[in-house]
Chains A and B, each alone.
Chain A
Amino acid sequence: MAGVQAAVTERPRVAAPRRFPWVQVLIVPTLLFLLVFFAVPYLNMVRMSFLLKPAEGPYLPQFTLANYARALFDPFNWKILRNTFWYSILTTVITLVLGYPIAYHLTQATPKRKRWLLVLIISPLLVSVVVRGFAWLILLGRVGLVNQFMQWAAGTELILIGTPEGIVVGLVHVFIPFMALSIAGSLQNISPDVVQAARSLGAGPWQRFWRVIWPLSLPGVLAGSVLVFVLAVSSYVIPIMLGASNVLVMPMLIVQTLLDTFNWPLGSALSMIFFGLTATILAVYLKLMGRSMRWTAP
């Protein structure tokens, strides 16, 4: 969907038409809906994170920083945060490595074949994430295909259910299409003339890739990795299904705090911290990438 977002920002070529009266009627319902059911709930969560949690009842309208103090001074939370970000970074890097060849291959295909390849990429994207978690439970479990194969081939057990590695496999599987489509959007924009020019100047295939195609595809890589990282960090289903309650990630901890212990203020504070750290990591990443993109710019 990344390309669609870009398309919407394009300026129309024709001058603005004469408006029909009351044209705002088109947008007001959507904006009202977003205000009431998106902006207000999030602001309410920010407020909630500063409220007092009494022994009885959900919260008291009394300002306090205790929730943040409690969340930040608990080393357990930091361990979970570190794990969550680490799995997500791993996931992002692996999806990049696996998504790039798919994207490149896609943009090189003939239109007819491209159509079928897109069906193959987008179909898994629309399959429910519970179903995909289930698929990996079948594959990676004790009687799963992977373990059977390992026992047959190497005589050792390989059960990935309940391990971080299993979670990363599941996440990579879910997010490859996002990465591939983002990168393909960028690769699609590279003019074949540029590559042809590099070739006629004597650049070999390897050089053509690293000196021309890769730098020009960096916007797609950037968009794809940001998207996958954000989705991976906040994923809940795959970690809970494939982690088999051995592995805890931040979204699980937050949901537990809210639903099992009914501590809304603490859960909100944890959400805010999680949110802030994710944004910080992304900001650092974007800054670094911005610098390296300047290096590779012609």
Chain B
Amino acid sequence: MKRRGGLLLTIVVALIYLFLLVPIVIVILSAFNSGNFLRFPPEGFSLRWFVKAAQTGPFVRSFEFSLRLAALVTVVTTILGTMAAIFTVRYSRRFRDMLRLAIVAPLQFPAILTGIALLIFFLATGIGTRGMRALFIGHTLVALPYVFLTVAAVLVGFDRSLEEAARSLGAGPLVAFWKITLPIVKGGVISGALFAFITSFDQFPISLLLVSVGNTPLPIQLFDYLRFSFDPAAAAVSTVSVLMSVAIVLLIDRLVGLHAITWTGHR
């Protein structure tokens, strides 16, 4: 009885994983299609659509733009988020829950509404959406909570006595932090940074509203492209994006383990 139940569960679970993964695999396979149309199964193997995508100006420009934007967002959110996490976990007592709620709030609000609120705000105040600044602010808002949560999760499990030992041996608070705390929470900080990067790089709803002429992030570019043409070049661009995401997942797995970001304390 138990055996049969276990087997049934395994089959059901395998089917659900297939449902989860097959669409993504299909996009990747379509990108290597040698035919002229997006068809499945592909007609033959070729890299021509990758070459075509790399020669398509808008794709190249928005890829570069997204990289620059995500890099900037990553640097700023990593610094701000790490600082905020240290304060919240270490130094706040009465307001801890309130702080956590406030910093995580941008994740609880629908991104599309946040985008709309920001758009009206930028237009009404005259800040405008030209250049990178509007997108930068919007992305920072939704990427910051991820850094905060990841770093805070590592800090909560951190053994304070190490730092106190350093202090009692004469290290100042900043030296103790730099020499003891930071190396230990480094994995959490880097994971948070990677999360922030991919959140910005893949961001859609906020970008859709805050995009301006000449500054188009890659997901928006891909979306616009798919409206008018439906060819394997889009699959090639998607493949690059998928590979980046998978690389980041594997990196986080290496650094702190995916455990640390999903649920903590029960290794």
Binding site for B on A (CB under 8 A): 1-10, 12, 14, 16-20, 23-27, 29-31, 33-34, 37-38, 40-42, 44-45, 48, 58, 98, 101-102, 104-105, 114-115, 118-124, 126-132, 134-139, 143-145, 148, 173, 176-177, 181, 184-185, 188-189, 204-205, 230-231, 233-234, 236-237, 241, 251, 254-255, 258-259, 264, 267-268, 271, 274-275
Contact = CB atoms under 8 A, between A and B. Distances in A.
A2 B30 CA distance: 34
B118 A101 contact: no
Interface string B149-179: 1101100110011011000000001100000
Interface string B231-256: 00011001001100110111001000
B91 A23 contact: yes
A47 B102 CA distance: 21
A8 B149 contact: yes
16 contacts: A4-B152, A4-B264, A6-B264, A7-B157, A8-B100, A10-B156, A10-B265, A27-B99, A29-B83, A30-B84, A58-B123, A118-B259, A122-B262, A131-B24, A176-B20, A274-B113
Contacts of B75: none
Given A137-B230, A254-B112, A267-B116, 8 more contacts: A16-B93, A20-B173, A27-B88, A44-B121, A123-B245, A123-B246, A134-B226, A135-B27
Contacts of B259: 114-115, 118
A41, A48, A177, A267 interface centre (most CB from chain B within 10 Å): A41
B235 A1 contact: no
B182 interface: no
B13 A124 contact: no
B58 interface: no
Contact of A127 (B24, B91, B157): B24
